[in-house]
Structure 1
Amino acid sequence: MSENNVLLDVKNLRLSFFTPGGEVQSLRDVSFQLREGEVLGIVGESGSGKSVSAFSIMKLTPYPGKVIGGSIEFNGHTITELSEKEMRKIRGNEVSIIFQDPMTSLNPVYTIGNQICEVILLHTDANKAQAKKRAIELLTLVGINEPEKRLKQYPHELSGGMRQRVMIAIALACEPKLLIADEPTTALDVTIQAQILELMMELKEKIGMSIIMITHDLGVVSTMCDKIAVMYGGKIVEYGTADDIFYHSKHEYTKGLLKSIPRLDAVEHEKLVPIEGTPVDVMNPPAGCPFAPRCNSCMKICLRQMPEYTDISDTHYSACWLIQKEAFEGGN
């Protein structure tokens, strides 16, 4: 695939929060690419750096967070060099985000129609009548019944699933090239989760946008994502296609995640295997592999030195000393 259809290119991104207690190293040399029309899943436990990665793409990192290294290239823009005024033209227009909790993301004192129309009026040449018409189209597109009535309602008058659909409508108002979904189904029940995910994939095909899906639910990424990045301790420890990650995983953390979720083909009464230990302290990260203190196969070098990425295939790579050990023992 040619380089000219790379929509997003994150290179060696380092981001820290400078707190009174010290520097919290949330992202440490994170690199990945997203091509046009692709769906990328970013998975990992809480504190691994998933949401911070997303917010950095939109320059929404809260104070006292700061990008201290690396670059973000998106659709011809160098995001890390843009001013806040320049970013306002891109946010909502070329890249949009669906936040984790719609109830805290929607303004409780404004109607649904007011909040959708605001985005349309800000980023397009539409007048108020055209913006209202477009808002009704968007609510219909995301499967909300009686859209004209919903425009006059406030967020608290809608159910959780409908609020999430409104958030998607706002994110899609200007047909962005990239949609970032930060755990968009966490607060929803299983049936509504499936509807929201199906809706996102339908809209992706209609509009032709790319999606970054941030989640801790491996079931979600297995059905939706073309590529998956597994994050731990502020680093991407494994990257590959869905088949690479689920059937040929190489990093011990990825294997641990897969062993800790229930399987339909599991033997009856088979126990799940939890990942022992506690998450890495990103204020004082280890010199070596961040997962080493919790890894059952940890070697001395794992604690001392971070391994380089090893290419398993054209689409699959991982940072683990065990892969290099296996290759060495195999004569490669």
Structure 2
Amino acid sequence: MNEYLVDIRNERLSFFTPAGEVKALNDVSLHVREGEVLGVVGESGSGKSVTSYSLMGLTAHPGRLIGGDLYFNGHHINKMTERELREIRGNEVSIIFQDPMTSLNPVYTIGNQIREVILLHTKKTKKEANERARELLQLVGINEPEKRLKQYPHELSGGMRQRVMIAIALACEPKLLIADEPTTALDVTIQAQIIELMINLKEKMGMSIILITHDLGVVAGMCDRIAVMYAGKVIESGTADEIFYQPSHEYTKGLLQSVPNINDREHKQLVPIEGLPVDMLNPPAGCPFAPRCRSCMKICLSTMPAYTKLSEEHYSACWLLDKAKFEGQSEVQHD
């Protein structure tokens, strides 16, 4: 029996394009326990969304899983047929997409779109589905639910549309909710409301959440553990406190240094991560972050480091942590 609700082991996934093979995921391993919130952090193109979509069997053409195993709630995902995957989508795992305006159908009312999910995945009658849709809008904090059910997406604000997306995702009370940058298109005040709503719903329903984001401020207040991804690899993973207060990978440190701190009285200048992201058509032989790393050593360019276990939950793939090989060498620089 698997102790994890989600267990992704050594996943490798590529997109076979006319220009060549884009190695989107290269040996990705992640796990999520029941009732846990995992934050997946990294810049655009790091493989965050691709990893989560593959868990639902939603890898877009010309993408293809070429290695590894994906387990969810007792299901071996990469051995399931499309029909079997449709059975768990919505019922056991749901997703909130980035932009609700492009996810909601503009020619159907909000009520139609919520009822459709309920009728598809449950045995409720139309009357029961309508009542459940009204309950869901109340649950996600939308006022005048009867009125909203009759409205179209363009008649709602951005924050309300995102709440509707959450209501649709929760329609069948899934065990896992994947939130793909759910606050990106919203202003800061509404962002805070959506995050608070998700935390409250998680406590009420006891579900697990995978939160995909590039906003470290969002994960700080919501996640139990954080996985940092770069160029299709998980380069560091640990509890939220370990990642924020004891970062060990140079990329993680760079992300934290580029975030403004309102409590910083010294008014330090923000330090950007210089250089450009890796070309995934021709990824480097060694550590993918090496070309942008200020502490890069010769071995970093040629060989990918193994994971160093720093605590029960905290591990990182960085040659600077390999004390046995580099002990006493002057070029090793620690912050």
TM over 0.5: yes
Establish whether residue 67 from structure 1 lines up as the match of residue 65 from structure 2.
yes
Distance 1:157 1:9 in 2: 40
Equivalent residue for 1:170, pick from 168, 171, 184: 168
Q: Which amino acid aligns with 2:274?
A: E
Q: Could you tell me which residue of structure 2 aligns to residue 250 of structure 1?
A: 248
Q: Which amino acid aligns with 1:72?
A: L
Alignment of 1:96-107 (within 5 A): 96-107=94-105
Misfit runs of 4+, over 3 Å: 325-328
Q: Which amino acid aligns with 2:227?
A: A
Give how far 1:4 is off.
4.8
Distance 1:4 1:275 in 2: 38
Please list every run of 5 or more consecutive structure 1 residues that lacks an aligned counterpart in the other structure. Answer: none
Q: Could you tell me which residue of structure 2 aligns to residue 9 of structure 1?
A: 7
Q: Which amino acid aligns with 1:114?
A: N
Distance 1:111 1:326 in 2: 63
Check whether the contact 2:13–2:24 (CA below 8 A) recurs between aligned residues: yes
Distance 2:325 2:62 in 1: 43
Q: Which amino acid aligns with 2:235?
A: V
Q: Could you tell me which residue of structure 2 aligns to residue 182 of structure 1?
A: 180
SS at match of 1:13: strand
Q: Which amino acid aligns with 2:79?
A: E
Q: Which amino acid aligns with 2:304?
A: M
Distance 2:82 2:328 in 1: 53
Distance 2:167 2:139 in 1: 8
Give how far 1:266 is off.
1.9
Distance 2:112 2:60 in 1: 26
Q: How many residue pairs were aligned?
A: 329
Give how far 1:327 is off.
7.4
Instruction: Normalising by structure 2, report the TM-score.
Output: 0.96
Q: Could you tell me which residue of structure 2 aligns to residue 217 of structure 1?
A: 215
SS at match of 1:175: coil
Q: Could you tell me which residue of structure 1 aligns to residue 333 of structure 2?
A: none
Q: Could you tell me which residue of structure 2 aligns to residue 152 of structure 1?
A: 150
Check whether the contact 2:38–2:226 (CA below 8 A) recurs between aligned residues: yes
Give how far 1:261 is off.
0.7
Q: Which amino acid aligns with 1:263?
A: N
Check whether the contact 2:6–2:32 (CA below 8 A) recurs between aligned residues: yes
Alignment of 1:25-36 (within 5 A): 25-36=23-34
Q: Could you tell me which residue of structure 1 aligns to residue 332 of structure 2?
A: none
Check whether the contact 2:320–2:326 (CA below 8 A) recurs between aligned residues: no
Q: CA 1:70 to 1:314, structure 2 compared with 1: closer, same or farther past 3 Å?
A: same
SS at match of 2:90: coil
Alignment of 1:58-97 (within 5 A): 58-97=56-95
Establish whether residue 289 from structure 1 lines up as the match of residue 311 from structure 2.
no
**Cα deviation 1:210-261 (Å, max 9, x = unaligned):** 0000000001101100000000000000000001100001000000000011
Distance 1:96 1:328 in 2: 45
Distance 2:139 2:44 in 1: 32
Q: Which amino acid aligns with 1:160?
A: G
Distance 2:63 2:104 in 1: 24
Q: Could you tell me which residue of structure 2 aligns to residue 273 of structure 1?
A: 271
Distance 1:330 1:133 in 2: 69
Distance 1:166 1:271 in 2: 40
What is the root-mean-square deviation of aligned Cα atoms in Å?
Answer: 1.3
Q: Could you tell me which residue of structure 1 aligns to residue 129 of structure 2?
A: 131
Q: Could you tell me which residue of structure 2 aligns to residue 112 of structure 1?
A: 110
**Cα deviation 1:80-132 (Å, max 9, x = unaligned):** 11111111110011000000000000011111111101111111110100000
SS at match of 2:212: strand
Give how far 1:32 is off.
1.1
